[in-house]
Every structure is written in C-alpha cells, then in structure tokens.
A and B are shown apart, each in its own frame.
Chain A
Amino acid sequence: MESWRNAKALFAGVGFPPAAWLLVFFVVPLGVVWLYSFGTNTSLTEIEISGTFSNYARALDPLYLGILWKSVLVAAATTVICIVVGFPVALAIVFAPDRWKPWMLLAIMLPFWTNLLIRTYALIAVLRREGYANQAIGWLHDSLGALAPLVGLPQPGAYEPMELLYNNFAVIFGLVYVHLPFMVLPLYAALDKLDKSLIEASLDLGAGHLRTLLLIVAPLAAPGIVSGVIITFVPALGAYLTPDLLGGPDSQMIANVIERQFKRANDWPFGAALSFILMYATFIAIAFQAMKNRQAEARQ
C-alpha cells in the first residue's frame, strides 16, 4: 500500500468516479430523507423542513411502537430458527468429504440466486388452503383415519384444511425460507477454520456429541455465529415483501408501514422518520457485531 501523496493524479483519477457516484446517488438521497424526517407537510406536495421532532414522537405512539416491537420479535424468531436449522447443515458441510463440499455449498446457495419474489410466490402455492402442505397433511389424515378402526379407534371426520397463509406463522416461515442461506454460509466459514483436534480431544475425554457441540464448537465459532445472526436479523427486520405477500392484516412489519406512508398515506416526513429509526436499529446491530469481532480478535 502506498501513500496517496506519491501518486496524487492516479489516486484522484481512480477514486473520483466511485466516490462521486456514491456521494450524489447515495449520501445525498439519504440526506434528503434525513432532512424530511424533521419536516412537516405544508400542502399535498410541499414539505417544509421545520426542524420538528414530532415525526419521531409520533413513532412512539403505541400503535407504531407495537409494530416496531413486533418486527423485532419476528426478525429474532426468524434468526433463532435459522440458527437451529442451519447449524447442523453447516456442520455437515464442514465434515463432508472434500469432493462433496462445493456441491453442498452450491445446493445451499442456488435458491439464494433465485428471485425473491418467485420464492415467495412458490411458498404461497405451498401454504394456501388448497396448497400442497394442506393436501399432504389431508392425505396423511385420511389414510391414517382409514386405519383407525382397525386398531379400535373411532373413524375421524373429514379433514379440515389449516389456515397456513396470511398469518404470522407464514411470515416467519417465509423469512426462514429466504434467509437460511445467509445463516449457513457464515456458520460454514467459521466452522471450517476450526481446529478439529479440539473436537476430537473433547470426544476422547468423554464428552458426548451434544456437550462437545455446546461447550467447544459453539464458543469457538462465536464470531461466525454473530455475523450469521446479524446478516439474517438485519434484512429480516426490514423485510417488506414477505409480510406483504404472506402476512395477514395483523402481521404488518415496519417496512410495510414505511411503504404506506410514501405510496398511499402520502405522509413523507413521518415515513422518513420511520425509515431512519429502522436505519439506526440496523447501525446498532452492525456496531454490536464490530464490537464482538474486535473482542474476539483481542482474545486471540
């Protein structure tokens, strides 16, 4: 690495295009939103930057605070389920024979390359009333029901399809479906670097597999777990499409409220304030990750 002073022309020539692009088309737009969050609607199209905090105060209204809290809970539930489901998968890839590894990673990655909207749409077909999930459960119900009289049980009634779509269950199911690869890949990266002789030592000294996993593997893989948690939690918190398409009237998340302020309610200052609350929440999560990483580095 050389100092910028040694080659000023080259430094400016290489750095200017990306820096200018980012300034004009990213920093400035976010700045405008930030300013709007302190503004008031003076007419249908005019917004005056009056320096008011009333938009932020309105976000503390129980209705919006409730939605914010609910978004955090849904994102947290998604993250926890992703860890539980993804950890054994990451472990399986780490301990797989070398020739399988790329294929297993590809198998996890491939759905991630598929359009988010298409994946969500595929879930609608699975979860709706006459969807494949209900068909499969109904078939099980009927065939087991037909066997019931043989073992002396009464014949159960006709299968009543479950409501799997348009509720909170569907939202969390959809978020897990979409974000699982995000969790598996950092977990894999962290576990792959692990010194396997430590696990062998633990098993040799009499600890079971579960105990080894919880007391040896998990703490050593902590940085990977933290980055997996952040990389899953942050997009899940700001998810718009999944709650919009799979959720019911009571499964609105913060992004849906923001969208409504801009597209239908036409209350841009309030929407801007909500956007920045979501941004701050994201920044706090990322700062937490950076702090944890630094701690882990300091320990080594």
Chain B
Amino acid sequence: MIALFARFGRGRTPVAPLEYTRRWWMRGWVGLVLLFLYLPLITLIAFSFNDSRRNIVWRGFTLDYYDKALNNTSLMEALLNSLTIAALATAVSVVLGSLAALWLWRFRFPFKAGAEGVMALPIVVPEICMGVAMLVFFARIGFPTDLVWPFNLGAITIAHITFCFPFVTMVVRSRLTSFNREEEEAAKDLGASEWQALRDVLIPHMMPGIVAGALLAFTLSLDDFVITFFTSGPNTITFPVKIYSMVRFSVTPEVNAASAMVIAITVILTTVALKLQSRSGISAQGH
C-alpha cells in the first residue's frame, strides 16, 4: 500500500541512496550555480540588443550597437590584431608543443624531471610575473616597435607562444600515453622509415590531441589580457586591451555588442573543435 502510494506520489521509481542528482536540494544547488555562472553572461548578451544608451532598462530590440561596434575602426583593428596573433601563436604552438610532447614521451635522458618542470613552468607562473618578464626582456633587447603590420605584433605573438605551447604539450602527451608502441614497430618491420612511421602511424594517433591543443592555444591567446597588456604598445592594441580601456570609462551597449561577438566566436570554435575531436576519436577507434 505504501509502495503504491509512493509510486503514485512520485510517478516513478524511488530515489536510490546514491542518486544525489535526483534529490531536490542537489538539483537546486546545481541550478543556482549555473544561474550564477550564466546569468551575467546572458544579461550581457541580451542587453547588447537593448535600444537604450544607459543599458539599465529594456527599451526594445535593436541591432544599432552591433552596427556601431562593427563600424568602430579601432575596435575592429584590435579584433583583427587579436585574431592574427591567435592564429600565428596557435600555428607555432602546435608545432613546438607536439615536438616537446614527442620528445618527453619517447626519450629517457638525464635531468628529464628538470626539463619537464621547466616545460610546465609557463602554465603555473603567475600571469603578472610573465607579463613583467616579457616587458623587461623586450625592452632590454631593444625589440623594434615601429615595424609594419603584422610584424609589429611580433613581441605579443612570441609572448603568447611561450605560454600557449606548454598547454599543447600537456594535451598531446596525455593522448600519446594511449599509443601502442607495437603499431609503430609493426610499421617499421613492414619497411616504413622513421619519417613514414611518424607521418602515417604516430601523427594520426596524436591528431585528436593536436586539435584539442590547438583549440586550447587559440582560446588562451584570444583570452589573454595581462601578458598582452605588458607587451603591447600604442599601435598594437588587441581586443581585450581595447575592451579594457572602454570598460574603464563606462558600461555601454557597444561594449556588450563587441563582447557578444567574441563570445559567439569562442562558442562556435569550441563546438567545431569538440565535433572534430569526437569524430577523429571515433575514426581512430575504427582503425
């Protein structure tokens, strides 16, 4: 009778002791945390369509501020700079990071723990310290600041590569641990050279890691403010640095519109990369 009542009352099976996710307080807590994480971003995007200069009360839908942001030359220049830096930094980081991962995965050598420690250092060093180090370094060697675009972005790109490629190394190396060395040996037994084995056996296996690492590098580079802030000059403003100077003055729908566009870029890139990764993951299993 009680069981029947419980069935009617709940309309489904009773909650098992470990089904924490089905308890109301747990759901409530997760819901509140997600609200905390997303509400500010959702209001930011919503108010980028708001037809009011003051950005406080909803006054109707408009795309004016997107138009304004897109026609703001210095903002668009900053965005172009950021995307250029991110693309260059990603390209170099992927090569350096994959090489480092291969190196650490394949070889046993003296002082290896030390080399691993130094490789991980850019990940853990506080951003401000790295920014300061880059500022001092480029001032000390007298890095030219009056080059033409895109060479004037060199200092920032170098700094970005330095903090991006260890992340690529980390991701690719964790992918390499699942590689079966016998596959490579079989390829070599069947007459493949060192290079062919690398190209046709090892690199295809590394690919999901490389894609994930590239995405990580691109987002980290696009996201970075502190290190860029220290390495950028008056002619090399990146998007976050530009937004920073705009935010210091006021909260305007134009900043909202620009931010919403960057959020869109990031979400699209993440989705594409996750898709690519899951597809290559499946094809790697199919081999």
Contacts and interface: CB of A to CB of B under 8 A. Distances in A.
B34 A4 contact: no
Interface residues on B, range: 35 or more
B129 A240 contact: no
A282 B126 contact: yes
A95 interface: yes
A110 B270 contact: yes
B186 interface: no
B196 to A, nearest CB: 14
A272 interface: yes
Nearest to B134: A29
B9 interface: no
Given A95-B18, A115-B222, A22 B118 contact: yes
B132 A262 contact: yes
B165 interface: yes
Contact of A238 (B108, B126, B225, B263): B126
Contacts of A245: 247-248
Interface string B220-256: 0011011000100000000010011001100100011
Contacts of A26: 118, 121-122, 133, 162
A14 B129 contact: no
Contacts of B118: 22, 26-27
Interface in A166-207: 177, 180, 196, 199-200, 203
B106 interface: yes
A173 to B, nearest CB: 10
A91 B22 CA distance: 12
B266 interface: yes
Contacts of B41: 111, 114, 118-119, 122
Contacts of A14: 99, 102-103, 106
A124 B251 contact: yes
A15 B105 CA distance: 11
B44 A92 contact: no
B270 A278 contact: no
Contact of B43 (A29, A111, A132, A203): A132
SS class, residues of chain A in contact with chain B: helix
B30 A88 contact: yes
A274 to B, nearest CB: 9
Contacts of A128: 251
Given A29-B133, A118-B243, A234 B47 contact: no
Nearest to B194: A10
A33 B122 contact: no
A92 B40 contact: no
Nearest to A115: B223
A3 B110 CA distance: 9
Interface string A110-126: 11011111111111111
Contacts of A268: 136
Given A33-B129, A130-B56, A282-B124, A91 B40 contact: no
A92 B29 contact: yes
Contacts, number: 225
A92 B132 CA distance: 41
Nearest to B109: A4
Given A258-B132, A275-B132, A200 B26 contact: no
A81 B47 CA distance: 29
Nearest to B260: A118
A114 B263 contact: yes
A182 B83 CA distance: 26
B262 A118 contact: yes
A27 B115 CA distance: 12
B276 interface: no
Interface string B144-181: 00000000000000110110010001000000000000
Given A2-B106, A18-B99, A128-B251, A107 B34 contact: yes
A89 interface: yes
A278 B259 contact: no
Given A88-B26, A95-B18, A275-B129, A121 B247 contact: yes
A240 B128 contact: yes
B258 to A, nearest CB: 9
Given A180-B37, A234-B126, 5 more contacts: A111-B37, A117-B244, A121-B247, A259-B128, A272-B132
What 9 A-B pairs have minimum CB-CB distances, sorted nearest first? A238-B126, A29-B137, A18-B100, A122-B40, A29-B133, A4-B109, A255-B128, A122-B44, A95-B20
9 contacts: A18-B96, A21-B96, A117-B225, A118-B41, A118-B44, A180-B37, A203-B18, A235-B127, A275-B129
Interface of A: 1-4, 7, 10-11, 14-15, 17-19, 21-22, 25-30, 32-33, 36, 85-86, 88-89, 91-92, 95-97, 100, 104, 107-108, 110-111, 113-126, 128, 130, 132, 135, 177, 180, 196, 199-200, 203, 234-235, 237-238, 240-241, 245, 255, 258-259, 262, 268, 271-272, 275-276, 278-279, 282, 286
